[in-house]
Amino acid sequence: MWTDRTQLLIGEDGLKKLQNSHVAVIGLGGVGGYACSLLARAGIGHFTIVDFDVVDETNTNRQIVADTQTVGKFKTEVMAEMISKINPNCKVEVLNLRLTAENLQNGKINLKNCDYVVDAIDSVKDKVELICHCKENIIPIVSAMGSGNRIEIPEFKVVDIYKTSNDGLAKVMRKNLRNRSIKNLDVVTTTQTPMQTDSNTVGSISYFPAMCGCVLAGFVIQRLLKHSEMKT
């Protein structure tokens, strides 16, 4: 079985736990795409994947969904196909939608049956709405913070957002979440200093967003295997 090596580490009960888990991945770019792929390879049995965007040629340097054959295709549909090739028995709900407060409120995006939510959204406004929705509905969530304009060997960790430093996205998010009375949030962050470039476009390299996605996936797997210890 393709899950044999995983079962050696987590046992049959652990494998069944992952197979029976429902994870939502919101945003399938450089961070979210890798997180989703690794969660699938770990044996997650049910996904809801949400992204409104299509693959662009400029995504190819860092996004697992991007290559010469996928440009112009919805990222969700590319990822769903990837998951099916990893695990044909995995259930995947594909939502080609932008996560907004309206789409959460009208039920077009329904996360209430999810065991965990991975927030890999770029937009501050949408991230805030997703986080508040999950906190209000007691849905476990972990959020990716900044990984752009960095080139060193990546060093990521999971901390509460109010303990982050040297992360511009986290700084903006802290202010917004404090205004919405959000008291805590698990985030994947790095304290490595971003580079200054001559462009307003955020620079990226293949491995940095991918490593953030790795840490996100590892954290979710650990939490699912220790469900009774989870805090929201």
pTM for the full model? Answer: 0.95
Q: What are the 10-residue block averages of pLDDT along the chain, 232 residues in total?
A: 96 97 98 98 98 98 98 98 98 98 96 97 97 98 95 97 95 97 97 92 96 98 75 38
Residue 163, domain member (yes or no): yes
Q: Which amino acid is at 112?
A: K
The secondary element (H helix, E strand) that includes residue 95 is strand 91-95
Say how many domains are in the chain: 1
What pLDDT score was predicted for residue 147? 92
Joined together, the tokens standing for residue 54 give 């299509």
163: left (phi over 0), alpha (psi -120 to 50) or beta: alpha
Q: What is the CATH number of the domain that holds 119?
A: 3.40.50.720
Q: Tokens at residue 58, please?
A: 């400029």
d(CA 7, CA 175): 42
Nearest to 202 by CA among 28, 66, 58, 49: 58
Domain that holds residue 85: 4-227
Residue 71 belongs to some domain of the structure: yes
With respect to residue 232, please indicate whether it lies within any of the assigned structural domains: no
User: Residue 16: inside a domain, yes or no?
Assistant: yes
Residue pair 212/172 in contact by the 8 Å Cβ criterion: no
